[in-house]
Amino acid sequence: MSTPRDYSAFEKLNLERKPVGVKFLALKPEGIKRIKEKRAFCEMFKDAQEGDPFYVQEEDFICVEPMLLGMRDPEPALVSGAAGGGAGLFKEERANRKLYQYAPKMLKGSVNYVAFSAIDQLTFDPDVVVIAANVGQARSILRSDSYSTGDYWSCKGTPVLACAWMYIYPVISGKMNFTVTGLSLGMQAINMDFPEGVFLISIPWNMMPTVLENLQDANLYRSWRSSGREEHFKKFDNRLSQLRQEMANY
């Protein structure tokens, strides 16, 4: 359960809220206390930011999370779409039913516990780290991948089941994902006390070395604002002209 990583690179972002590490486990984690009250999966992000590390098991969830985590069989009242369709979350039952066909899920029986911790209290190597960021901070985090890989950004989500896209999708896809507070109907309904417009960025374990390395590069925090539109294109054209001349000499 020990963590070999150095997360000090995140300090360069000057985040207002602590990043949170999440780990999916088959066996009960040692040295971490169980959560004291039942909570929604998405609420646990804020709980970990503000408190001590904790773990949860099937009985600790109050929403549909056990089904998404493979702890419980799908419930017909949910996966039929009747619940969301009847509540006005979707126009028809079939629209809600479709969501459950592709929502990220863990294989049945693969996860029995989920551990949460703010990164400054980590005693385990997380499967995913979730970060709350403003626009400028989000730009640097997203660039920390594409800066050296050239990969494109991707954002996947749905009006409900935000937790599946925050926690599970990055782990099973191996891709960074993000959403913005205020988009999720579920998070809005439970009044998470988060201002709207905050980026929630999820970084899976396999991408973490690249992200941490690139966050050390000063170019990620450099302002690219110019003295104006004309000045920007003048510099761009001058650079292209220089490159064309250099390449023509080969």
For the chain, the structural domain boundaries read 8-248
Q: Is the pLDDT of residue 71 over 90?
A: yes
What average pLDDT is seen over the chain?
91
CA distance 94 to 80: 8
Instruction: Give residue-wise pLDDT tens across range 24-64.
Output: 999 999 999 999 999 999 899 999 999 999 999 999 999 88
Backbone phi and psi for residue 42, each to the nearest 5 degrees, phi listed first:
-70, -30
**Sign of the four-CA dihedral 74, 169, 126, 189:** negative
What pLDDT shows up at residue 3? 58
pLDDT tens profile 115-146: 999 999 999 999 999 999 999 999 999 999 99
Which tokens belong to 66? 């056990």
What sections of the chain are H helices per DSSP?
A: 43-50, 65-68, 76-79, 82-87, 93-102, 135-149, 162-163, 169-173, 185-189, 208-214, 229-248
Report pLDDT digits (tens) over 170-208. Answer: 999 999 999 999 888 888 777 667 788 999 999 999 999
pLDDT at res. 2: 58
The reported pLDDT for the residue numbered 199 is 96
Confirm if 99 and 140 have CB atoms less than 8 A apart: no
pLDDT tens readout for residues 206-244:
999 999 999 999 999 888 777 788 888 888 899 999 999
Q: Check if the beta carbon of residue 113 is closer than 8 Å to that of residue 53.
A: no
Strand-pair category, 128-133 with 113-118: unpaired
